[in-house]
């Protein structure tokens, strides 16, 4: 197995400009945080702030996507991400269709583009796509009709932009100023599209020190070029940090030669109260989920006073509402 992150997906020959943006520089698709302007990231976070309160209303709906059709195309298993996208779309008053991949034509050999073309013919306005292959959402964005918007809900090892954005929202909610922070991302960096999206978002928003911590076998080569500091000792890496983002051990994406066992992983890399104590006293603990308790994180930490993990899930609905609302309004 190659110990590098996959390259960013390539665009069709002759394509010029940023595929994510309209000719007016507004957000048309959300495919990656890499290269996304800081002002658009900030716009999404500010818009999400307005949507957080919707959940507290008696009628938890706004009419922003009324008459629009959102198709959830999840070619990988997901509960948290698919559910929060569905809730977000329904709170925006959209019509939502969840495609049953196991019963779809793709299981019978139909290509991704043919499946998308048929769904577009059903007047889909927005695709939310999760796929095991890096670049699949790009393919749909490049070849879809002009009115179609595509949101990447995770593609291979490449990107998970809405998770990155909800992580940034969570950090901003608790820490306010990105330019004063030290942030540590711990664990299986190599297989983590969340880590990649978080790194791009943190550096774009001006975080002065982003640390990545993990065993050598689970760190991509050349990480320093992304503007991060690499640590192979968790105790050293956690000293004085303000935010700790623990990553799930990506068992489905790795081979067994990379780690001796989950138990050994926890001994060296799991977040325990003793290791958390090395961070700043008011440090927050995050995790994109689902958690493997006793592997990446001890239950007392996951459920402790410094954990904001459940808040991430709540904020994720508002952030996904913001992304869909902004994109649906930009057709230039």
Q: What is the pLDDT of residues 213-253, one digit of tens each?
A: 999 989 999 999 999 999 999 999 999 999 999 999 876 55
Assess if residue 222 is contained within a domain: yes
Under the banding of pLDDT at 50, 70 and 90, the label for residue 13 is low
Distance between alpha carbon 152 and the CA centroid of its chain, in Å? 9
Residue 70 pLDDT greater than 70, yes or no: yes
Task: Please check if 320 is assigned to a binding site.
Answer: no
Residue 105: band (very low, low, confident or very high) from pLDDT cuts 50, 70, 90:
very low
Predicted pLDDT of residue 33: 96
210 bridge partner residues: 183
Tell whether 25 is covered by a domain.
no
Report the distance separating Cα 190 and Cα 219, nearest Å.
5
Beta bridge partners of 97: 71
Residue whose C-alpha is closest to residue 47's, from 298, 317, 301? 317
Give me the mean pLDDT over the 190-209 stretch.
Answer: 96
Do 48 and 89 have their domain in common? yes
Residue 172 resides in a domain: yes
Percent of the chain predicted with pLDDT > 70: 90
Q: Which residue has the tokens 């623990």?
A: 246
Question: Are residue 60 and residue 92 in the same domain, yes or no?
Answer: yes
Residue 6 domain flag = no
Q: In this structure, are 173 and 284 located in the same domain?
A: yes
Is 193 annotated to bind a ligand? Reply is: yes
Residue 246: the pLDDT is 98
Task: Kindly report the pTM of this predicted structure.
Answer: 0.93
Say which residue the tokens 């110990």 belong to: 3
| Counted domains in the chain | 2
Residue 155 structure tokens: 């593609």
Residue 250 lies in a domain: yes
Nearest to 285 by CA among 237, 246, 323: 246
Name the CA dihedral angle for 154, 158, 163, 165, rounded to a multiple of 10 degrees.
Answer: -130
Main-chain phi, psi angles of 199, to 5 degrees = -60, -45
Please report whether residue 26 resides in a domain.
Answer: no
Q: Please write the tens of the pLDDT for every residue from 140-154.
A: 998 888 899 999 999
Do 202 and 94 fall within a single domain? no
pLDDT in the model for residue 321: 97
Are both 98 and 185 inside the same structural domain? no
Nearest by Cα to 84 from 125, 132, 130, 18: 130
Asked whether 62 and 93 are in contact (CB, 8 A), the reply is yes
Say how far apart CA 98 and CA 78 lie, in whole Å.
Answer: 12
Would you state the pLDDT for residue 1? Answer: 45
Query: pLDDT (tens digit, 9 = 90+) per residue, 261-297?
Result: 888 889 999 999 999 999 999 999 999 999 999 999 9
Residues 244 and 272 in one domain: yes
Q: 147 and 47 in one domain?
A: yes
Tokens 């196991």 -> residue: 102
Residue 303, pLDDT > 50, answer yes
Lowest-confidence pick of 35-44, 50-59, 205-214, 302-311 = 50-59
Give me the chain's average pLDDT, please. Answer: 90
Does residue 192 fall inside a structural domain?
A: yes
236 and 186 Cβ atoms separated by less than 8 Å: no
Residue 118 makes CB contacts below 8 A (sequence gap 6+) with 105
Instruction: Give the least confident one: 54-63, 166-175, 277-286, 318-327.
Output: 54-63
What the block records as the tokens of 205 is: 């928003």
> CA–CA separation, 142 vs 14, rounded Å?
12
d(CA 31, CA 162): 9
Backbone angles phi, psi at 293, to 5 degrees: -65, 140
CATH assignment of the domain containing 277: 3.40.50.1370
The domain of 185 spans: 161-312
158 labelled ligand-binding: no
Q: What is the mean pLDDT of residues 75-102?
A: 90
Question: Are residues 320 and 216 part of one domain?
Answer: no
Q: In the block, which residue shows the tokens 């230039």?
A: 332
Q: Are 122 and 172 in a shared domain?
A: no
Residue 7 is inside which H or E element, if any? none
Whether 90 has a binding-site annotation, put simply, is: no
Mean pLDDT of all residues in 24-34? 95
Q: 151 and 262, same structural domain? A: no
Residues 102-106: what's their mean pLDDT?
53
CA 290 to mean position of chain CA atoms: 13
User: 264 and 208 share a domain?
Assistant: yes
Kindly indicate the confidence band of residue 309, based on its pLDDT and cuts at 50, 70 and 90: very high
81 is in an annotated binding site: yes
Residues 127, 98 contacting (CB under 8 angstroms):
no
Report the C-alpha gap between 54 and 322 in whole angstroms.
12
Instruction: State the DSSP code for 101.
Output: G
Same domain, yes or no: 184 and 83 = no
Q: Are 249 and 188 in contact (CB under 8 A)?
A: yes
**DSSP state, 180?**
G
Q: pLDDT tens, 127-136? A: 999 998 889 9
In a domain, 185, yes or no: yes
Q: Supply the pLDDT for residue 76.
A: 87
* 289 in a known ligand binding site: yes
Q: What is the pLDDT of residue 67?
A: 95
């Amino acid at each position: 197995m190659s110990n590098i992150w996959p390259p960013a997906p390539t665009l069709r020959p002759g394509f010029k400009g940023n595929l994510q943006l309209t000719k007016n520089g507004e957000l048309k698709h959300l495919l990656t945080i890499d290269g996304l302007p800081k002002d658009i990231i900030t716009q999404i976070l500010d818009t999400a702030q307005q949507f957080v309160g919707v959940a507290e209303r008696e009628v938890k709906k706004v009419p922003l996507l009324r008459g629009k059709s959102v198709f959830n195309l999840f070619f990988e298993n997901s509960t948290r991400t698919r559910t929060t996208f569905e809730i977000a779309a329904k709170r925006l008053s959209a019509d939502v269709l969840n495609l049953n991949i196991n019963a779809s034509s793709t299981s019978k050999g139909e290509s991704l583009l043919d499946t998308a073309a048929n769904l577009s013919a059903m007047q889909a306005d927005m695709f939310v796509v999760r796929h095991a292959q890096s670049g699949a959402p790009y393919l749909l964005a490049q070849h879809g009709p002009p009115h179609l918007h595509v949101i990447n809900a995770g593609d291979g090892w490449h990107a998970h932009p809405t998770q990155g954005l909800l992580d940034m929202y969570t950090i901003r909610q608790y820490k306010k100023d990105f330019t004063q922070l030290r942030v540590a991302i711990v664990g299986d960096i190599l297989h983590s599209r969340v880590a990649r999206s978080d790194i791009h978002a943190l550096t774009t928003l001006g975080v002065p020190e982003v640390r990545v911590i993990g065993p050598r076998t689970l760190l991509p080569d050349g990480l320093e070029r992304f503007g991060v500091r690499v640590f192979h000792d968790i105790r050293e890496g956690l000293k004085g940090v303000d935010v700790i983002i623990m990553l799930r051990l990506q068992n489905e994406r790795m081979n067994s030669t990379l780690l001796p066992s989950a138990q050994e992983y926890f001994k060296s890399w799991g977040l325990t109260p003793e290791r958390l104590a090395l961070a700043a006293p008011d440090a927050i603990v995050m995790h994109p989920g689902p958690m493997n308790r006793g592997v990446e994180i001890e239950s007392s930490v996951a459920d402790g006073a410094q954990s904001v993990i459940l808040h991430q899930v709540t904020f994720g609905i508002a952030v996904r509402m913001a992304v869909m609302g902004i994109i649906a309004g930009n057709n230039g």
